[in-house]
Amino acid sequence: MKIWYIFFIILTACTQPPPPAARKPTIHLVKTTIASPQPLSTRAVYTGNIRARRIARIFTQESGHITHLPYYEGDTIKANTLLVQLDDTLLKAELNKAIATYKYAAINVQRYQKLAKKKIISADELARAQTELEIALAEKQILQTRLSYTKITAPFSGIITARLAEPGDVINTNTQILTIIAPNSLIIEVNISARLLSQLQIGNTASVRIDALGTKTFKGKISRIHPTINPQTRLGKIEITLQPLPKGAQVGQFCRVTISNPISPRITLPYTALRRSDEGEYVFIVDADNKAQRQTVRSGQRFADRIEIIEGVEKGQIIVIKGFLGLQGGEIVQSQ
């Protein structure tokens, strides 16, 4: 029995496997990029409407009935064209009376001046005659002005967009009769977020699509930035001028405006590089030993497929952008 026992021990010792050799560390395959500031631009689409920057609402300054009103909506008129004529018969008669009174007062003043030189009348009587002449002159000028108000002419060349009265209507003072717009003053009015508004400048270009004119896009530029922000909506207002004005553009048409605004270079990464966990945002940075190290970051604005990194990444660092499956901090990585 002892012989067999000793033989079993020797056999067991001879059949034990040799100690395992040291394992080589595994290498994780990834795709990387180098962090560097990139020139960027924001691009946003806003909606707006076409309106006329130059518009005139024609009101009466005298009452009376309309004797001449030849133009209708859509008619094109030139500057100084007679638009409205009111009945001026009574005012002309009153003006003739005022002119006669003025002439009579002027003759009286001349006669009183001669008499005053001979000391036949007092200075007070001459002063009274001169005052009556001034009053007559003022009455004449008032009636001349009122008579001019019976004729209303176009303040500029344009198109009639509203006709609110008809010949024969008796109207009061300060009644609107027509509306005129200058077609070359059409602009697009757009409401813009306050954040983007601060980045825009007059002269920035914009791409405009007018739904009523199909899918064609037109070039425009920012011609005016309004100085106030709506406190309820936090929106500001800009005006865009089309260059040139497309044929068929009309007041009230709905527009889609695309605005691109270049901004200063910033460090951005492909959006796939940014990881998130319960502890916050992070990326994997490849250190000098080719090891992936987890780095906490703070992201900013997104630009298409890239994301701005505000904190946590410096220029020149190598960042992992693909190959995250099973990747842990401290692992050796190799870029594909």
Encode pLDDT of 155-170 as tens digits.
999 999 999 999 999 9
Topology (CATH level 3) of domain 28-39+266-335: 2.40.420
C-beta separation of 69 from 296 below 8 A: no
Q: What gap in Å lies between CA 276 and CA 297, rounded to an integer?
A: 10
Confidence of residue 218 (pLDDT cuts 50, 70, 90): very high
Question: Which class in CATH covers the domain with range 55-180?
Answer: mainly beta
Confidence of residue 40 (pLDDT cuts 50, 70, 90): confident
Per-residue pLDDT, averaged over 15-24, amounts to 55
Confidence of residue 49 (pLDDT cuts 50, 70, 90): very high
CA distances, 162 to each of 84, 114, 150, 195, 248 (Å): 14, 60, 20, 38, 19
CATH H superfamily, domain 44-53+186-263:
Efflux pump adaptor protein, beta barrel domain (2.40.30.170)
Confidence of residue 25 (pLDDT cuts 50, 70, 90): low
Q: What gap in Å lies between CA 280 and CA 292, rounded to an integer?
A: 18
Q: Sketch the domain layout of the chain as residue ranges.
A: 28-39+266-335, 44-53+186-263, 55-180
pLDDT at 4: 46
Confidence of residue 6 (pLDDT cuts 50, 70, 90): very low
Whether 114 shows a pLDDT value over 70: the answer reads: yes
Cis-peptide, bond into residue 155, ω within 30° of zero? no
Element (H, E) at 41: strand 37-52
Q: What gap in Å lies between CA 236 and CA 230, rounded to an integer?
A: 6
Cα end-to-end distance, the chain, whole Å: 65
Per-residue pLDDT, averaged over 108-120, amounts to 88
Q: Please give the share of the chain, as a percent, with pLDDT higher than 90.
A: 63
Q: What gap in Å lies between CA 92 and CA 73, rounded to an integer?
A: 31
pLDDT tens-digit map of 224-247: 999 999 999 889 999 999 988 898
Whether 5 shows a pLDDT value over 60: the answer reads: no
pLDDT tens-digit map of 275-306: 998 889 999 999 988 999 999 999 988 877 88
Whether 9 shows a pLDDT value over 50: the answer reads: no
Q: Closest Cα partner for 307 from 273, 275, 268?
A: 268
